[in-house]
Structure 1
């Protein structure tokens, strides 16, 4: 069982790293879209109706989908002063408590997002802007997927914690 859990944790780490690093392309695409809009707006006096929504969607996608990568690397914002004030043994226990609380909170958030996400699969919602994109529907599905990735990576981190195979956790959790 220990080997099975370790295999899951290692696989989830690889998935999170792959998705997180792939998200850098979304940010690069956002830069290209924004630069194109600047050239069109100020160079040719022909602004687009789609660039703002697309840039926002690309950045939001990268931010949400990178959650597993950030969690795997232990790079969430944290109060490192507490780590300096307590013993390493107590800090290890506090990290577990933090991961368990985060798992519970994200699980509740996922359950709250699940209904609206399933609803947009039956009836697509649009933005109502000039472009009238499916951005609201996409974001509901994206947030749900991001929460699931987060929970899966938190489970992998808890397995690493239990097997004492976390690696470098300095500056995170």
Structure 2
């Protein structure tokens, strides 16, 4: 995959978080391997690996969504988007941005009180290790949604004067289908003419 170029300070900020999202799965795999080793080889299971992997997995999920927004990887109906003129595309982009803003604002507005309360009382997970997952993840969700909103606005501003991109219809799947059809046609032609097959 070719990454979308970084444009502006918002992209630079998002890019740094995305690198954390790319590293954390390897850390999760490493600590899970450590847990299996400790539990089944040394018979000394850990208290912290399960909760730590949940904690980091939640961060990966959040930061990946932020990275997808920076890369313009969210779903767009190209069959409609590519056939309309540029002014209508810009209107679609504006409507899309406002949908993101409204959704993020609604979640932040509805979740702020609970996130603030969990953070202020430093709510813990309620297990033997008892990490402060609720106290950190709830505010992190709202912070990430705020950055997603800023990223959506930044994308619109940075992409406003760029030439429009077209989705190439002959993508990898179409090429594979054409190759299969060609191979089937050749096999059918050989089956019809057995003398040609003997000569080869």
Structure 2: runs of 5 or more not aligned? 1-6, 169-200
Change in CA separation of 1:88 and 1:59 when aligned onto 2, cut-off 3 Å = farther
Match of 1:57 in 2: 55
Counterpart CA distance in 1 for 2:161 and 2:111 is: 33
Match of 1:44 in 2: 42
Counterpart CA distance in 2 for 1:50 and 1:144 is: 25
Q: TM-score with structure 2 length normalisation? A: 0.70
RMSD (Å) for aligned C-alpha atoms: 2.4
Counterpart CA distance in 2 for 1:46 and 1:113 is: 39
Structure with bigger RCO (C-alpha 8 Å, 6+ apart): 1
Q: TM-score with structure 1 length normalisation? A: 0.80
**Superposition deviation, residue 36 in structure 1:** 1.0
Q: Which of 159, 165, 168 pairs up with 2:162?
A: 165
Change in CA separation of 1:87 and 1:79 when aligned onto 2, cut-off 3 Å = closer
Q: Which of 126, 129, 132 pairs up with 2:130?
A: 132
Match of 2:84 in 1: 87
Structure 1: runs of 5 or more not aligned? 1-8
Q: How many correspondences in the alignment?
A: 161
Change in CA separation of 1:130 and 1:99 when aligned onto 2, cut-off 3 Å = same
Counterpart CA distance in 1 for 2:33 and 2:161 is: 46
